[in-house]
Chains A and B, each alone.
Chain A
Amino acid sequence: MELLELNSVSRRFGSRWALRDVTLRLGPGRIGLLGPNGAGKSTLLKIIMGLLEPTSGTGHVLGQPLHEDGTWRRQRIGYMPEADALVPGLGGAEYVALAGELAGLPRRQALRRAHEVLSYLELEEARYRRLEEYSTGMKQRIKLAQALVHDPPLLLLDEPTSGLDPAGREAMLQLLRVLGQEHHKSLIVSTHLLGDVEQVCDQVVILNEGRLLFQGNLSESSGRRHDRYVLHVEGETTAFLDDLRLEGVRLLDDNGRGRWRVAVPPGWTTRAFFLLADHHQVVVRGLRRDDEDLEELFRRLVSAQGRAGETAVDQGAAPGDGVQAGGDEAS
């Protein structure tokens, strides 16, 4: 069964389109939801949770049509908000047990699950402490605990590493990876931190100005650039580089320590690097393909849409109308 299936879903607030004609099909897995502010991420999450109905379009979340009662979906979704969203005055275990009861667990089971989940998330020693006394890292973990207490198949995580120090961030990401890989939870991680998505997710969805810019596997997004290499050489490189230029290789970036990012012409083979190096008596220390990382992909897609929007405005059309939504744009 598909985790999420949206067909031309749009949502309008007054005259502003928060989501525009989004068509999306996501299977179970770990999904990163990316986009700048105002991209429509929150609106999409609200639609997934059944807190908002789309203005137009159809779709299913966990097999349930979008227009049906959202409480069914929220029983199967655990939501970890970005803001604190705690109940001051309650202890950790009470808070998580309350979340369990609100999700539909009987009281006794909710308490039991709360203790289990808190222990799993390494909060067992802090479970009787008041929530106000929790550190930022503990607050993030207890927010995850309240989302996890009723064992939902889908977790929606809004900026899960927000405010964490590097160690705390790494621990949280590791936890999310394990939840996805070993406990088969589907995760939708909405974040501005592309590194988090790269570390945790296997699929990515990029939104901008309410439109879908890209949807696909992270490996697909990063394996699309076959003409870029990172070259690391040692020795007298001036003549070597001149020859590379003569062959049509463009030097994109030089780190000053013998490492270059280069773009090769069509038909170029990696063997040519070694032949030229051998000819000029330089040593090739490293050579790897310079795949486009998520950050570059994100920037490229967003700026491409921006340019397309400007062009469309110049030609008298509505902003964004000239941008092709979907994976084709990224290829």
Chain B
Amino acid sequence: MTRQPVFEHEATPAAVPPPSAGDVPGRRPQRFGLLPYRRWGGPLRPGYHAVWPIARVALVLMFRRKLFWVLYALALFTFLMFFFGQYLLAWALSQVGEQRIPLWQGGPRINPTWLIQQVRDGLGINGSPQMYRTFLGYQGSMVMVVLALAGSLLVGNDFRYGSLPFYLSKPISRWHYLLGKCLAVAVFVNMMTTLPAVVLFVQYGLLQADGVRTAWSYFTEQRWLLLGIVGYGGILTVCFSLLLVATACWLRRTVPMIMVWAALFIFCRLIAAALVNWLHGPATCRLIDLWNNAYLLGSACLGLEMATVRPQPQPSLWQAALTLAGVCLGCLIYLNRQLRAVEVVS
């Protein structure tokens, strides 16, 4: 979108006077600072270009706090365990030969490859969909903790310190603002979930390469697994970002944020477990556990049967999907109302 001069006296880019010439011929303009005032005659971009700057600034503000680096490092511990676990097991496999070895002197002989495979399966570090589901589950728990702390910083402060009128007085719509904030949360969530999971997938593929099979053939064979990982990450991203932005918009401060977040993801889970496991209520009672719903959908993305989800019984997939969709829709309606109520000119 090219910015057209509105008034006759507005200079076009070609007619921009040199800074020292000023706007009034023959008269030196009054100068305040070191530089004179200069005109801008270039194009101005449409509102959707503002989404990334909003997200970028939110991320910058978050990562300026040391606490988030510490939490991020802590969250990467799980990833490092999986990463080096995979590597060590692959290395061990490459070191053993075909010969059977005795478990102890004079004892039964076993195949070391079989033993390592047992350890691999036992630990669940075997490149299977279950491994990624477990990994994303662990990472997701860590993400929830970090987001509870980040919510007030990402969104709450905009309400508390009056930054919102600043954003909304610019040529962007309220949805651009919301999209920018959700994008910031999405980047953060994916940095802790999808990205490490994809790294594990790539690492596993590379470790599988041998004389017969290339890494590329693994990637092409397992492309649905990769899509499943991305899909699970997408579910976590959409649900968490909308829920976080809505909660932060409502509460604005860190401590209430943590309390509500804990209620949503810990107490709801405990209540659901109590209702279904101890009081033998219907499986649909688990629907109040949002984390479980995301887990069910993630399992489906990874191509896993619902029967593999523990504990049983579980609600059906469509019920979980419908619940999460309802929560996301509720968040969107709430955010729309909250943002419409902001007084840009007070």
**Which of B8, B33, B38 has the largest number of chain A CB atoms within 10 A?**
B33
Count contacts on A: residues with CB < 8 A to the other chain: 62
Given the complex, which residues of B lie within 8 Å of A118, measured CB to CB?
A: 33
Instruction: For the complex, give the distance between the alpha carbons of A86 and B320 in Å.
Output: 41
Q: Which residues of B contact A121 (CB under 8 A)?
A: 32-33
A48 to B8, CA, bound (A): 20
B6 and A153 form a contact (CB under 8 A): yes
The answer to whether B45 has its CB under 8 Å from any CB of chain A is: yes
Q: Is the CB of B170 within 8 A of A99?
A: yes
Q: For residue B64, which residue of chain A has the nearest CB?
A: A89
The CA-CA distance from A76 to B10 in the complex, in Å, is: 12
Q: Which of A46, A87, A106, A113 is most buried by chain B, counting CB atoms within 10 A of its CB?
A: A87
What residue of chain B has the Cβ atom nearest to residue A186's Cβ? B7
Minimum CB–CB distance from B243 to chain A (whole Å) comes to: 23
Chain B 1-40, CB within 8 Å of chain A: the 1/0 string?
1010111111000000000001110010111111111111
Residue from A46, A87, A104, A184 in contact with B344 in the complex, judged by beta carbons closer than 8 Å: A46
What's the minimum C-beta distance from A327 to chain B, rounded to whole angstroms? 24
In whole angstroms, how far apart are the Cα atoms of A179 and B32 in the complex?
Answer: 11
B166 CB contacts on chain A under 8 angstroms: 81, 85-87, 99, 146
Contact with A along B35-73 (1 / 0, CB 8 A): 111111111111101100110010011001000000000
A121 CA to B9 CA, complexed, in Å: 23
Query: For the complex, is A313 an interface residue (Cβ under 8 Å from B)?
Result: no
Contact call A178/B29, Cβ cutoff below 8 A: yes
Q: When chains A and B are docked, how far (Å) is the Cα of A68 from the Cα of B127?
A: 55
A320 to chain B, nearest CB (A): 23
Contact with B along A243-262 (1 / 0, CB 8 A): 00000000000000000000
B344, A49: Cβ atoms closer than 8 Å? yes
- Do A104 and B1 touch across chains, with their CB atoms under 8 A apart? yes
> Does B157 count as interface, using CB distance less than 8 angstroms?
yes
- B165 (CB) vs chain A CBs: closest residue: A85
Give the Cβ gap from B242 to chain A, nearest Cβ, in Å.
22
A176–B169 Cα distance when bound, in Å, is: 20
Cα(A306)–Cα(B23), bound, Å? 45
When distances are taken between beta carbons in the complex, the residues of chain B under 8 Å from A87 are: 57, 61, 158, 161, 163, 166
Residues of A within 8 A of B165 (CB): 81, 83, 85
Bound Cα distance from A121 to B50, whole angstroms:
25
A234 to B175, CA, bound (A): 71
Minimum CB–CB distance from A138 to chain B (whole Å) comes to 13
With an 8 A cutoff between CB atoms, is A109 at the interface?
yes
Within 8 Å of chain A (Cβ to Cβ): is B99?
no
Q: Which of B8, B36, B161, B172 contacts A120 (CB 8 A)?
A: B36
Please report which residues of chain A, range 85-139, place their CB below 8 angstroms from some CB of chain B when the two chains form the complex: 85-90, 94, 98-99, 101-107, 109, 113, 116-124
CB neighbours (8 Å) of A99 from chain B are 166, 170
- CB-based contact B170/A46 at 8 Å: no
> Does A72 lie at the interface of the complex (its beta carbon under 8 Å from any beta carbon of B)?
yes
Contact B30 A178 (CB under 8 A): yes
A residues less than 8 Å from B46 (CB atoms): 71, 104
Q: Determine if B281 is an interface residue (Cβ-Cβ < 8 Å).
A: no
A279 shortest CB reach to chain B, Å: 50
CA distance A174 to B32 in the complex (A): 10
Given A71-B47, A182-B29, A183-B39, list of 15 further CB < 8 A pairs? A85-B162, A85-B163, A86-B166, A87-B158, A88-B157, A104-B45, A109-B40, A116-B37, A120-B36, A122-B33, A124-B35, A158-B345, A182-B23, A184-B10, A184-B23
Interface pairs (9), CB distance under 8 Å:
A72-B171, A75-B3, A81-B345, A94-B57, A104-B49, A104-B50, A105-B44, A106-B45, A174-B30
